[in-house]
Structure 1
Amino acid sequence: MPAYNAASDANRPQRGHRLADIPLHDPFVLADKRTRTYYLYSGAAPRLNGVDRHGVLVYKSADLDEWEGPYVVFAVPDGVWADPQHGAWAPEVHEHGGRFYLFVTLHNEGRPLEGGPVNGYGRHWRGTAVAVSDSPEGPFELLDADAPVVPFADMTLDGTLHIDEDGLPWMAYCHEWVQTIDGTVEAVRLTDDLSAAASEPIVLFRGSDAPWLEEGEAPLPPEGKVREYVTDGCQLHRTSGGSLVMLWSSYEDGGYVQTIARSASGRLEGPWEQLEPLVKEDSGHGMLFRTFDGQWKLILHRPFKLPESRGYLYDIEDTGETFRLKR
């Protein structure tokens, strides 16, 4: 087939795409057992994908090898709290109660927060919104047009759905290092329809908790800047042995890192212990899913920056206590 054309293919879906050809950032795969279709979601941007506003794209595959698409499943609408020209990050689609829920981080750079820039990064409205559809192919409609799940005073991103052992829905998310300096992973319980927070946020752990990110081993920041600890891309899974583990990402010596943590109590509240990273090589914001024959896979992107970033698949072993790459 012709070479992948990132500037036009959102308006001209095709078959036969390979992961190595598709610009991807924060990839997420939903395996729909009813149709035996894998849905691969990624953000849509005007300059990269030929769309007129930021949103979410999906590709479809029956075998994880060849992909059809992209199709636009969500576009940031006018008249909502977010700006359609300011980004749509880290889309995830979860089936819940017979419907499909999109978690996506939106922005409004025209609404600054208190505190001023840190290391040159401004603080503004940023948060995960939830949208719903009856189909994994969309279109998705925002549940709340006026606000993200976590209030505007907190600069948050990368929300993901977790159903606890009591059947209650939670959103785990990252509290942006731009605001906290030492980024955190937090969680908030959701209403049954996933439209809003139903509790106060709780802090699960801090970026600096990872022993491989100890400040003494990291290069000192340039003069006038502070040492920050990034928390990105949290996602929760339970192993065959009942362990609750979390994927998340950070930076080490300027490179993106895919790492993992485990709850010592087996509950969302933790405490959380940090395990050895899974993948380095400027790789991260990964997620786990199971194939239709029951095999665990990890998908992440590498390198960090678009348009060079691509999706990579890894075979994963469930040890009962954690997940690790198959050797």
Structure 2
Amino acid sequence: MSFNLNFKKISFTIIVACLFVCLNVFAQREVKHNIPLNTIRLSDPAILADKGSQTYYMTGTGGLLWKSKDLKFWEGPYHVAKTNPDSWMGPNPMIWAAELHQYKNKYYYFATFTNRDVKIDTVAGNIIERRASHILVSDKPKGPYVPMADDIYLPANNPTLDGTFWVDTNGKPYMVYCYEWLQNGNGTMEKIELKPDLSGSIGEGQLLFKASDSPWSREKDEHGNDKPNKVTDGPYLFKTDTGRLGMIWTSWIYNDYTQGVAYSKTGTLDSPWIQEKDPITPPNFGHGMLFKTFEGKTLMSVHSHKKVNGRSVRIPHLFEVDLTGEKLIVKKEYSVE
């Protein structure tokens, strides 16, 4: 009897070990190699050029990571976001618009997390789910990225999204994010101070500008009248070579997803933000960010947006950018052929 029990225990252990090995092999097979950039389907692509590893790491919506040595061929996807199932996010949150930022020898994962099982409000018939910008951390660019000290960075009763990172002229780190139009009717761009190690936030969010401040983003109301668009989306901060502080961000021109730019009047986040009259990308390109290649060229990653058989298809693209003057100038699309 004792022998049979021990044999069963050993057999069960072997079966479990085999299953574990098989699952690992299957997971490894899911990782693809030599994938051209234009064949990847990804919203909100953000690329970290990590000098230490001489590797480009691309994140975006979906909680996955891709990596490349040359921007042409990519390897992935890897699951890198390790959230706490007992937190407000729940066991399986949606993950949008992830960005990687290196800061003080750590790597930080700024992303939007949505718990679809928690409803925080209903406005004009729209049920608003628990959604917020949040930050995870890792010692390595490839992750895994895990939670830090604070469970909540932004108010639980406000839907926020697309958080990005900036260190202002006062030396303090900030998250810049969107307060979603679904609740306030006129999306805003806001900032909140972060703790020195980015493990939580300090104080309350402060308004930078509203969607309606933009002269280029437009929509029609229910009566067909022309008015400013209500969407703020995808902020990303930069400085020109002359030291001018700017922010690219995305909204809509009627049915076209489009990106514009605003500039700080005095060079700080708190300064009045002056919106450029015209958008900077072709129609249906947006949610951009900027990075430098290892050869020193400044590029902007965006996704294209189009409908195919009733479904939205979003593909990463790269554009060459000129920052040598007072304004950001988007040049031709960057070829990775």
TM-score by length of 2: 0.84
| 1:198 matched to 2:202 | yes
1:252-288 Cα deviation digits (max 9, x unpaired): 1122111111101111112101112111322211111
Picking from 13, 25, 35, the partner of 2:53 is 35
Aligned pair in 2 of structure 1 residues 83, 222: CA closer, same or farther (>3 Å)?
farther
**Aligned residues with identical type, % of pairs:** 36
Gaps spanning 5+ residues in structure 1: where? 1-7, 45-55
Checking the alignment, whether the CA contact within 8 Å between 2:217 and 2:228 is kept in structure 1 is no
User: 1:237 corresponds to which residue?
Assistant: 238
Q: Report the structure number with the largest CA radius of gyration.
A: 2
- In structure 2, relative to structure 1, the CA distance for the partners of 1:227 and 1:268 (3 Å cut) is closer
Q: Is 1:71 matched up with 2:71?
A: no
Range that drifts further, 120-129 or 239-248: 120-129
> Given the alignment, which residue of 125, 128, 136 partners 1:131?
136
Residues 64-103 of structure 1 correspond to what in structure 2 (within 5 A)? 64-103=71-110
Deviation at 1:180, TM superposition (A): 1.1
Q: Report the secondary structure of 1:83's partner residue.
A: coil
| Matched ranges for 1:173-212 at <5 A | 173-212=177-216
Structure 1 residue ranges (4+ consecutive) displaced by more than 4 angstroms after TM superposition: 8-11, 304-307
User: How far did 1:110 drift?
Assistant: 2.8
TM-score (norm 1): 0.86
1:105-146 CA deviation, whole Å, 9 max, x = no partner?
Answer: 1112333224x233x532232101111000011111011473
RMSD of aligned Cα (Å): 2.2
Equivalent pair of 1:10/1:71 in contact (CA under 8 Å):
no
Is the alpha carbon distance of 1:201 and 1:145 closer, same or farther for their aligned partners in structure 2, counting shifts above 3 Å? closer
In the aligned structure 1, how far is the partner of 2:56 from the partner of 2:275? Answer: 30
Q: Which residue is 2:112 aligned to?
A: 105
2:123 is aligned with 1:122? no
In 2, Cα distance between equivalents of 1:10 and 1:91: 23
Structure 2: gaps (5+ residues): 1-25, 333-337
**Count of residues in Structure 1 that have an aligned counterpart in Structure 2:** 301
User: CA 1:40 to 1:9, structure 2 compared with 1: closer, same or farther past 3 Å?
Assistant: farther
Alignment partner, residue 153 of structure 1: 157
Alignment of 1:250-269 (within 5 A): 250-269=251-270
1:19 maps to 2:28: no
Bigger proportion of residues as helix: 2
Partner of 2:321: 316
Q: What's the CA shift for 1:79? A: 1.1
Q: Give the Å deviation of 1:34.
A: 1.2
| Preserved CA contact (<8 Å) 1:220 1:227 | no
